[in-house]
């Protein structure tokens, strides 16, 4: 009788242990790694996010399956970046992916230990993000793409589109890190082409409205919108005003041409997001930022919106159509 009771106690104990195994196993599973995603605009385009996730997947990570992403957006307000970066750091994310040089500098100021991967358009060495392109040192690396260096090319393409226009309107953000370089590049290109410029500085929506009124008063015949994340975050407003004032315009991002802008020329930011996602994935797999050289994106694209050209009554030269990477009908 005693041995039978003992055997029953043993089986009950064994059953309790067995029931606890799933809980114990679950408790021992490592927590899902988290990527902190910081951007200036209030949202990121679906194509950008898809490209970023593609880069992650190439390194073996799928959002929601084996990695989580905490998104943080500044709503176009650069001044919010330091607080947002600090908040992501306080959540102890595994790695930070930051879009724009301003976001990267805010993240670097917030942490010297959490790895940072940037996608930025300002020289990362001159801006102090990394020690060198080949040997970044520290906790920061990423993808660098040309921005201000292409303003002269954009002005040349705009002049080729509307060769009879001699006064070009220019919209620049004085708060942008690239502002100084942009101004110099555009001025030099205008002198070389024999063009006159009317530059307006706009850091908010009120400034943007006033700038377009000034362009109209000066009778500018075309518009170059300087590359800046804030203007990307207000692309619907900028594109709508360009159409309202019937200004043939060139932008730096294909997304602005897709939104109704006439023409865009610049680095493929979509491809930069893929490269950034790949670097984030490699860091999640154990590699260190200091061992990952900064990638210099070299994929450029010219996009022309023929629908907008027809709205403006413009005939796009055959040469531009021939060299365009995409023509939107």
- CATH class label, 148-267+301-328: alpha beta
The residues spanned by each domain of the chain are: 33-146+268-299, 148-267+301-328
Q: What is the mean pLDDT of the chain?
A: 89
Beta bridge partners of 170: 199, 224
Domain 33-146+268-299 and domain 148-267+301-328 have a common topology: yes
- 3-class DSSP state of 292: coil
Torsion (CA) 212, 214, 215, 218 in degrees, nearest 10: 160
Q: What whole-number distance in Å separates Cα of residue 219 and Cα of residue 217?
A: 5
Q: What would the pLDDT profile of 45-75 be if each residue is shown by its tens digit?
A: 788 899 999 999 999 999 999 999 999 999 8
pTM of the model: 0.78
Evaluate whether 234 touches 205 at the Cβ level (below 8 Å).
yes
Kindly report the CATH number that applies to the domain delimited by 33-146+268-299: 3.40.50.2300
Q: What would the pLDDT profile of 26-46 be if each residue is shown by its tens digit?
A: 444 457 899 999 998 877 778
Q: What would the pLDDT profile of 74-113 be if each residue is shown by its tens digit?
A: 988 889 999 999 999 999 999 999 998 899 999 999 999 9
């Amino acid at each position: 009788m005693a041995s039978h009771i003992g055997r029953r106690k043993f089986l009950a104990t064994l059953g309790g242990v067995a029931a606890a195994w799933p809980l114990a196993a679950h408790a021992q599973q490592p927590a899902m790694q988290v990527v902190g995603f910081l951007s200036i605009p209030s949202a990121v385009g679906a194509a950008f996010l898809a490209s970023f996730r593609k880069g992650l997947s190439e390194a073996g990570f799928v959002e929601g399956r084996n990695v989580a992403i905490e998104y943080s957006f500044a709503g176009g307000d650069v001044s919010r970046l330091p607080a947002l970066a600090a908040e992501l750091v306080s959540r102890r994310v595994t790695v930070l992916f930051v879009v724009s040089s301003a976001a990267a500098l805010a993240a670097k100021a917030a942490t010297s230990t959490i790895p940072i991967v940037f996608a930025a358009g300002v020289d990362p060495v001159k801006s102090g993000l990394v020690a060198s392109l080949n040997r970044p040192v520290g906790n920061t690396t990423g993808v660098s793409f040309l921005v201000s260096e292409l303003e002269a090319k954009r002005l040349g393409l705009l002049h080729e589109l509307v060769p009879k226009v001699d006064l070009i309107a220019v919209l620049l953000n004085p708060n942008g890190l690239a502002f100084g370089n942009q101004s110099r590049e555009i001025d030099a290109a205008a002198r070389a082409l024999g063009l006159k410029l009317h530059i307006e500085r706009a850091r908010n929506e009120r400034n943007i409205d006033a700038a377009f009124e000034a362009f109209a008063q000066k009778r500018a015949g075309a518009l170059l919108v300087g590359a800046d994340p804030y203007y990307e975050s207000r692309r619907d407003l900028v594109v709508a005003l360009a159409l309202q004032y019937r200004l043939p315009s060139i932008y730096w991002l294909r997304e602005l041409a897709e939104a109704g802008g006439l023409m865009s020329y610049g680095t493929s930011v979509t491809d930069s997001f893929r490269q950034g996602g790949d670097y984030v994935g490699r860091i999640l797999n154990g590699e260190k930022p200091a061992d990952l050289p900064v990638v210099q994106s070299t994929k450029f694209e010219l996009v022309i919106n023929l629908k907008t050209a027809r709205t403006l009554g413009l005939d796009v030269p055959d040469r531009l159509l021939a060299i365009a990477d995409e023509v939107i009908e």
